[in-house]
Structure 1
Amino acid sequence: MASPKFHNSFRQYHRWIGFFLAGIMAVYALSGVLLIFRSTDFLKFEQTSHRQLEAGLNGKGLGEQLRMRGFKVEQETDGKIVFPQGEYNKQTGEARVTSKDYPFPLNKMVKLHKATTNSPLFFMNIAFGIALLFFVVSAFLMFIPRALPFKNGLKIAGVGFVFAVLMVLFSS
C-alpha cells in the first residue's frame, strides 16, 4: 500500500494542474456546446464576399473554382448562374457568395475543437487530452484504496463509464 504522503502528493498535483486547466476547460466546454449547433444558424452572421473568377464558366466549372461543399446550380442563363449561396456573372467573372459564419472569437473557438495535425493547436489538444487522462488516474490516487470515498468513487466512475458507452453505442 502506498503511503499517505504519496496520496497527498497526488492531491497537490491534481489541485495545481486543475487550477491551471480550469480556464482551458471552460474554453473547450463553450466551444463544444457551440459545435452542437453548427448545422444551424445559431450565433452565425451573414457575410458576403465578392470573388473575381474567370469569365464564361459553366455550372460545373464554377463549382470547381468556388470549392464549396455541396455546390449545385439553381438556375443558369446566358448572363449568370444562380446557386443557393449567391450568383456568378458570366460576362465579368464576378461571383457574389453569401455565407454564414461565427464572429471572430467564436470562429477561433470552433477551430480549436476541430484542429488537425496540420494545425499548431494540435499540440495543445494532445496535451489537454493527456492532462485529462492524468485527472482520471489522479482522482483515484488522492484517496487511500481502503477508504470509503475511494470505493464509492470507483462505483460512480463505473456507472459514468457505462453511461458514456451506452450513449455512444445507441445514439444516432
Structure 2
Amino acid sequence: MSKDNQHKKVRSTTKIMRALHRDIGFLMIGLTIIYCISGIVLVYRDTDTFTIDEQYIENIKPNMAAHELGSALKLRRLRVLEETADTIYFNYGNYCKSSGEAVYTINTYPDVVWLINGFHKTKSRFGAHWLAVIYGVLLFFLAISSLWMYKPKSKKFIRGLVLTAIGLIIAVIALYI
C-alpha cells in the first residue's frame, strides 16, 4: 500500500469516526440527561430529598394481630410502637382493630421520579434492560471515538490521554472511598 493510500485510509477512518462520534453524541444527549437526573436522585436515596409524603387509608381484615400488619399492608419495615385495646400504633400510622381501617403515611418518590429511576435499576429480566446495555455500549464508543478527534502526536491528543488517565485514577480511587 502506498503512503498516499495509507494517508487517505487514515483520513477516511478519522472522518468516519468523527461523524459517528458527532451523531451518536447528539443521540445520547436526551438519554444522558435522564440518566443524570436519575443518578443524582439515587445518590440521595438515603435522605428525604426528592420525596413526598403519601397518605393511605386501607380497610383490611379486622382484629388482626400486631405481627400480621406488616405483611397485610405490604410494609416491610413496619414496627409496632404501641398497642391499646382497639388501636395498634406503628411507625407509619395506626390500625383500628374493630373496623380494620389502617391509616398510614409513606415517604416515597413522586411517580415521575420512580419512572426515571427505573433506568438505573433495570434488571436483565426486563425488556428495557437492552436500552441500558445499548446506552452503555454507545457511551463506551463515545469515549473511545474521542481519540480520533485529534492527530495522535498533537498536544491536544496527548492532553486528552493525560485527562483520560486522570479520570481512570479518580474512578479507581472513588471505588475505595
Which of 28, 31, 35 is the matching residue for 1:24?
A: 31
Q: Which has the larger radius of gyration?
A: 2
- TM alignment of 1:23-172, pairs within 5 A: 23-170=30-177
Q: Please report how far the alpha carbon of residue 24 of structure 1 lies from its aligned counterpart in structure 2 after TM superposition.
A: 0.9
Asked whether the 8 Å contact 1:4–1:144 carries over to 2, the reply is: no
Root-mean-square deviation (CA, aligned residues, Å) is: 1.8
1:40-87 alpha-carbon deviations (Å, 9 max, x no partner): 222322111122222221121111222323221111122121111111
Letter in 2 for 1:62: L
* TM-score normalised by structure 2 residue count: 0.86
Contact 2:70 2:77 in 1 (8 A): no
Where does structure 1 lack aligned partners over 5 or more consecutive residues? none
**Amino acid in the other structure paired with 1:151:** I
Aligned counterpart, 2:3: none
Task: Give the % identical residues.
Answer: 27
**Larger deviation: 145-154 or 156-165?**
145-154
Q: Does 1:6 align with 2:13?
A: yes
